[in-house]
Amino acid sequence: VPSSIPVAADPAVISPQDPTLLIGSSLVATCTVGPDSELRAEDLYWTLNGRRLPAALSAALGPTTLSVALARLNGSKQQSGDNLVCHSRDGGILAGSCLYVGLPPEKPVNITCWSKNMKDLTCKWAPGTEGETFLHTNYTLKYKLRWYGRDNTCQEYHTAGPYSCHIPKDLALFTPYEIWVEASNRLGVAVSDVVMLDILDVVTTDPPSDVHVSRVGDLEDQLSGEEPPWPCWSQVMPNQAATGFSTIPAPPSPPQVVDDVGNQTSCRLAGLRPGTVYFVQVRCNPFGIYGSKKAGIWSDWSNPTAASTPRSERAAGGCDPKGGEQNTTLRRELKQFFGWVKKHAYGCSNLGIKLYDQWRVWLQKSHKARNQVGKEP
């Protein structure tokens, strides 16, 4: 009898007591009052989860026994079991039983693991294709060194979601681990496939913080993103991180991702729209840790940092060159650029992107000056 149901000392007995059944099963239960009771079968009735069952489902099997027939049972509405209770005519509770109706667990799938400091490991998994068993299901993450280790059981569950566990310490490097998940409930046990991994191959980091974004002079199609030197990896091994930048124009435009810019902590974002607000994010990925041949795992994206490109000074309604006009425009711009270099840069020994940027700023200022002169009376 469930402890939550107050009853006298065995005034009646329900059989079977607390059964476990598959979804779709049928059940015939009986309630028999004690020999010293003045109650008879016609004085009894049944409830399921507080709702009175129709009298047509019940039948007297003797002067002191009332049965109830339940067909095609659905999954339990609560993991603690559905309450089947036998009552006396005045509503008093005589006996109770918990019905556990559900499914056996499915094999857990999609085990993924990561390490934040090469000493810990967090793993998560999915409970199977169906997932819901309607019964309380226990999940146990187990692990061992591949060739000679003993089985160990993870203790810190639900650290990264409902199906996850964290191993905080005492892990070995340079040796692969076998990791698996066992699922169990009242109807059975299911074991996942074994995953093999080396801690060094699943290292990840926290996302970068304090990312700065600024304009590149007056260039209307570029921004510069910069993070503090190695904010997400310096605690473990400096200069062992790849960085990815993401620019997200104001909604509803889709994000543009610039992945893996090496171990730089800054990135020039070009080809942007003039006069547009962008949200810039950064993430990190450790690589080559102690000679590992795998790239590790990308961190989450940092919080977005907003910046806007300068507005274009081109007249409204103007069109970008198309088709063959692009080649003509490019040749003209290169001719102008090299003419400017010859006049202002005194040789080409320092020819590079910064010099090209300086020329573009000079060119835009020249256009602004001409436009202002043309607008005067």
Q: How far apart are CA 96 and CA 371, in angstroms?
A: 90
Q: What angle, rounded to 10 degrees, do the helices at 324-340 and 353-375 form?
A: 100
Same domain, 51 and 86: yes
CA-nearest of 253, 260, 307 to 283 is: 260
Residues 87 and 114 in one domain: no
pLDDT band of 246, cuts 50, 70, 90? low
Q: Are residues 51 and 87 in the same domain?
A: yes
| Domain shared by 187 and 225, yes or no | no
Give residue 363's Cα distance to chain centre.
Answer: 48
Cα–Cα distance for residue pair 160/314, rounded to 1 Å: 51
Task: Identify the domain boundary among 102, 129, 164.
Answer: 102
Whether residue 167 is contained in a domain is answered as yes
Question: Among 52, 77, 102, where does a domain finish?
Answer: 102
In a domain, 305, yes or no: yes
**What distance in Å separates the CA atoms of residue 250 and residue 256, rounded to the nearest whole number?**
12
> What does the pLDDT look like over 112-139, one tens digit per residue?
999 987 889 999 999 976 667 889 999 9
Predicted pLDDT at 80: 83
The answer as to whether 361 is a domain residue is no
Classify 128 as helix, strand or coil.
Answer: coil
Whether 371 is in a domain gets the answer: no
pLDDT at 349 over 70: no
Report pLDDT for 102: 93
Question: In terms of domains, do 28 and 80 share one?
Answer: yes
Same domain for 155 and 198, yes or no, is yes
Question: How does pLDDT run across 166-222, given as a tens digit for each residue?
Answer: 999 888 888 899 999 999 999 999 999 999 998 888 888 777 777 777 777 776 666
Per-residue pLDDT reduced to its tens digit, 274-320: 888 777 777 777 776 666 667 678 888 778 777 778 877 653 333 34
CATH code (residue 295): 2.60.40.10
Number of structural domains (the chain) is: 3
In a domain, 350, yes or no: no
**Same domain, residue pair 180 and 268:** no
Residues in the chain: 377
**Whether 97 and 113 share a structural domain:** no
* Nearest alpha-carbon partner for 287 in 209, 216, 201, 163: 201
Domain extent at residue 291: 212-241+254-309
Instruction: For residues 40-64, give the mean pLDDT.
Output: 94
**Domain shared by 272 and 184, yes or no:** no
Assess whether 57 and 130 both reside in one domain. no
Residue 4 lies in a domain: no
Q: Give the residue, 100 or 256, on which the prediction is more confident.
A: 100
377 lies in some domain: no
Which of 102, 133, 165 is the C-terminal boundary of a domain?
102
What DSSP assignment string belongs to 19-78?
-EEETT--EEEEEEE-TT-S--GGGEEEEETTEEPPGGGEEEEETTEEEEEE-SPPPPSS
**Residue 236's pLDDT is what?**
41
Cα–Cα dist 196/174, whole Å: 13
Instruction: Answer yes or no: do 153 and 190 share one domain.
Output: yes
Residue 46 in tokens: 């049944």
Answer whether residue 342 is part of any domain: no
* pLDDT confidence bin for 37, thresholds 50/70/90: confident
> What's the rounded mean pLDDT across residues 66-87?
92
Residues 283, 268 within the same domain: yes
Share of the chain above pLDDT 70, in %: 65
Q: Which pLDDT value is given to residue 291?
A: 67
